[in-house]
Amino acid sequence: MLQLIQNEKIREIKDGRRVIVKKPELLAPAGSLEKLKIAVHYGADAVFIGGQEFGLRSNADNFTIEEMREGVEFAKKYGAVVYVTTNIFAHNENMDGLEEYLEAIEGAGVTGIIVADPLIIETCRRVAPKLEIHLSTQQSLSNWKAVKYWKEEGLHRVVLAREVGAEEMRKMKEEVDIEIEAFVHGAMCIAYSGRCVLSNHMTARDSNRGGCCQSCRWDYDLYENKDGEEVPLFEEGDAPFAMSPKDLKLIESIPHMIELGIDSLKVEGRMKSIHYVATVISVYRKVIDAYCADPEHFQIKKEWLEELSRCAIRATASSFFESEPTYKQQMFGFHASKPKWDFAGLVLDYDAETQMVTLEQRNYFKPGDTVEFFGPDIETFQMVVEQIWDEEGNELDVARHPLQIIKFKVDQPLHAYNMMRKENKK
Amino acid sequence: MKKPELLVTPQTVAHIQDLLEAGADAFVIGEQKFGLRLAGEFTVGQVEEATKLIHAAGKKVYVAVNALFHNDRLDDLELYLKEMQRIGVDALLFGDPAVVVAVRELGITIPLHWNPETIATNWFQVNYWGQRGSKRAVLARELSLDEVLEIKENAKTEIEVQVHGMTCMFQSKRSLLGNYFLYRDQVMEVENRKENKNMFLHDKERKNKYPIYEDVNGTHIFSPNDMCIIDELGELFEAGIDSLKFDGILHSYEYIVKVTGLYRQAIDAYFDQGEEAYEDIKDDLLAQIEEIQPALRPLDTGFIFKETVY
């Protein structure tokens, strides 16, 4: 185990207690305007979104400039900010339209861009100087001297390579005065990001322009070429060669990251559901707040870990943070499984007098099902659903239509944006 | 018109002698602690020996310091850079900006070549690193001919393009082979790059075989084909591309010598006797490569005539 060293620079005495005043930013993914609102409502200090161009998730429902503006306005009400990923490595043909795009992002009130290509860094500085520039993990930033380079180039923040460990981060913070952002949760590249073109070679899709087809998650057979003869290095029934990493989960390392002075803790997953974003962000929010309020008596609560596991579909690991990952941090012979709990409904309204909730259906449920409600402003609780009605007051046997408005009785108070989930028994 | 440099990757000092005779103009050498995916390991002493040999022949030697460095290798990197300055090599290949900072701080005067492989994809970046001391850019192998030509037109530094050999598609810091064997409760033989013990991944769906090995930088996976454009060099010649690289990694000593000689013939035919002379011999040069090409390594033209989507 890594030794946790208290950092005096981030502490102050407040009301007679030593608390941590330098809280890291909790940075959430937001693949759509709805996800942005949920992320912010559930406690994110900042969100990163993709625009229609120059970003790396060409499959996500990316934001129009108008949606960015709306997202920024919404976030502002919570004191949160928005960053836009513009982290492709451009080819010559991608240079057109960049200036107008960056000007529009700046005009929408976005705080910063996450960028890898110096073309975009320099262009941004010239045409959209109000935007902060954050170096993307696509640059595989792995040492303090390279951090110093980007500091001298005037960047506001760097996102580290996923391969950087805690002691390396400490040294970077000591040597260079720049904001550091590090991943804490989510799916991982198993290669150095930016240095993988499997997708280009296998499917002619450019991974560094958003076309990654995740070839690293496929199975392969390992052979050796012995004097021209192909000898298999596996036996019948063995798991095939795989390079699929377990997903990153650093929930238990958050105190350590706070003591290191890491400025922004990043959750990955712009393609993930609002249920995922809400669950993950709310748990990390609780951990950060609890540790900063009383670091001496902090303990990870079992219920936080359980809560996190409700939306997990893959095994998790701490990756490079504590030490070099071994085979235990990879998955062999594994393909996606279902999460333990399904997202079943989003609360739109609650009438305290009648104790009736109005919610939007997100998954099949029916009277008799055990459901769980959670949200940033309630304690999580479970209950059994009784009678349910549609918007017109017709009683239903099942809530079967996605986005259908459903009403039923809930004893405990709920608020808009609370979520209902249902155990996945399959 | 200026002849492009023919840049090759020797395995040993003795190999350099044979490659000089075969017509190489320049060499990339180094050691895995600082450089990525080299055809051979050269200690500092061997770099010195190689440099004397290469300089005596009036040719160039470039040393690879293009690893992605972690903090623990920075001090050694500085010592290494000082040694290279003392030896007087002709260029340093870099990908990590740490090298730019170290070179500045140490007052190293050896020219830099920007070689980050996959991310060298547009001319703006070429000139950006040019302004920061890079004399040459080594372009990503995932570019089409048109993209290469447009970069050359707009570049203020020299341009180097790979014309033959394997392409690295993937680098992980993790020990992926070792992990696979440990998972199955075996211990990997550390020396997995012995001549007769090359490993590859078989992709059954695409019927491709991808060479794979591990070293101190992690796990490296290579393209299923060797690119070869010995018969398609005309436009690169005409555009004035400054350096044509043949990456001989994972190929045999003899293969590297033979292929170097064939590219020498292609360049000399075009520049000494004219375009037609090159046109006359190019199919035969390709046929000679096909004859010695290992069965496991089909030839293709890389991304030169292939578009990627995203």
pLDDT tens-digit readout, A9-41:
999 998 888 899 999 999 999 999 999 999 999
Strand partners, A389: A395, A407
**Nearest residue on chain B to A228, alpha-carbon basis:** B196
The half-sphere exposure of A110 on its side-chain side, counting CA atoms within 13 A, is 33
- Provide the terminal-to-terminal Cα distance of chain A, rounded to the nearest Å: 37
Q: B46 at the A interface (CB within 8 A)?
A: no
- Rounded distance between C-alpha atoms, residue A15 and residue A293, angstroms: 11
Residue type, B56: A
A380-389: long-range contacts, CB 8 A cutoff, minimum separation 24? A380/A303, A380/A307, A381/A412, A383/A410, A383/A411, A383/A412
Whether the per-residue pLDDT at B22 is higher than 70: the answer is yes
Contacting residues for A388 by C-beta, under 8 A, at least 6 apart: A366, A367, A395, A396, A399, A406, A407, A408
Is A326 in contact with B177 (Cβ distance < 8 A)?
no
Q: B308 at the A interface (CB within 8 A)?
A: yes
- By the 8 A CB rule, do B205 and A234 touch? no
pLDDT confidence band for B308 (50 / 70 / 90): confident
Is B180 in contact with A332 (Cβ distance < 8 A)?
yes
Strand partners, A81: A46
Who wins on pLDDT, B189 or B287?
Answer: B287
User: With a CB-CB cutoff of 8 Å, which residues 73-92 of chain A face chain B?
Assistant: 89-92
Q: Complex ipTM, two decimals?
A: 0.95
Residue type, A303: E
- Measured CA to CA in angstroms, residue B12 lies from A4, A122, A386, B17, B91 at distances of 47, 42, 79, 9, 19
In chain A, CATH 3.20.20.70 covers 8-193+244-331
In chain A, CATH 2.40.30.10 covers 341-423
Residue A1's CB: how many other CB atoms inside 10 A? 6
- Rounded distance between C-alpha atoms, residue A47 and residue A114, angstroms: 11
- By the 8 A CB rule, do B38 and B31 touch? yes
The CATH class given to the A8-193+244-331 domain equals: alpha beta
Position B196 scores a pLDDT of 46
Q: What is the pLDDT of residues B246-269, one digit of tens each?
A: 999 999 999 999 999 999 999 999
Share of chain A above pLDDT 90, in %: 85
Residue B255's CB: how many other CB atoms inside 10 A? 18
Residue B280 to chain A, least CA–CA distance (Å):
32
Instruction: Give the three-state DSSP class for A106.
Output: helix
- Rounded distance between C-alpha atoms, residue A23 and residue A14, angstroms: 14
User: With a CB-CB cutoff of 8 Å, which residues 183-212 of chain B face chain A?
Assistant: 183-184, 196-206, 208-210, 212
Position A302 scores a pLDDT of 95
Position A340 scores a pLDDT of 83
* Domains of chain B: residue spans and CATH: 5-166+227-300 (3.20.20.110), 172-220 (no CATH)
Strand partners, A359: A347, A406
- Measured CA to CA in angstroms, residue A352 lies from A31, A252, A300, A421, B140 at distances of 33, 37, 33, 21, 62
- Measured CA to CA in angstroms, residue A54 lies from A209, A283, B113, B118, B289 at distances of 7, 31, 27, 17, 41
What one-character DSSP code corresponds to residue A137?
Answer: G
* Of B192, B194, B172, the residue nearest B36 (C-alpha): B172
Q: What is the pLDDT of residues A73-99, one digit of tens each?
A: 999 999 999 999 999 999 999 999 999
User: With a CB-CB cutoff of 8 Å, which residues 142-201 of chain A face chain B?
Assistant: 142-146, 148-150, 152, 161, 163-164, 168, 171-172, 190-192, 194-198, 200-201
The half-sphere exposure of A364 on its side-chain side, counting CA atoms within 13 A, is 3
pLDDT confidence band for A312 (50 / 70 / 90): confident
- Beta strand residue intervals within chain B, DSSP E: 5-8, 26-29, 60-65, 91-94, 112-114, 134-138, 158-165, 168-172, 198-203, 208-215, 218-222, 226-228, 243-247, 299-300
Q: What is the pLDDT of residues B113-135, one digit of tens each?
A: 999 999 999 999 999 999 999 99
User: With a CB-CB cutoff of 8 Å, which residues 111-150 of chain B face chain A?
Assistant: 117-119, 121-125, 128-129, 142-143, 147, 150
User: With a CB-CB cutoff of 8 Å, which residues 397-426 of chain A face chain B?
Assistant: none
Instruction: Give the three-state DSSP class for B117.
Output: helix
Q: Which residue has the tokens 């991808």?
A: B210
User: A205 is written with which tokens?
Assistant: 């899709």
- Rounded distance between C-alpha atoms, residue A97 and residue A270, angstroms: 24
- By the 8 A CB rule, do A169 and A262 touch? yes
- Rounded distance between C-alpha atoms, residue A293 and residue A313, angstroms: 32
- Rounded distance between C-alpha atoms, residue B206 and residue B124, angstroms: 35
A292-317: average pLDDT: 92
Which CATH number applies to A341-423?
2.40.30.10
A383-409: average pLDDT: 97
Position A335 scores a pLDDT of 65
User: A266 is written with which tokens?
Assistant: 């990043």
**Nearest residue on chain B to A224, alpha-carbon basis:** B199
Q: A229 at the B interface (CB within 8 A)?
A: no
Residue A350: its H or E element: strand A341-351
- Rounded distance between C-alpha atoms, residue B285 and residue B279, angstroms: 10
Instruction: Give the three-state DSSP class for A172.
Output: helix
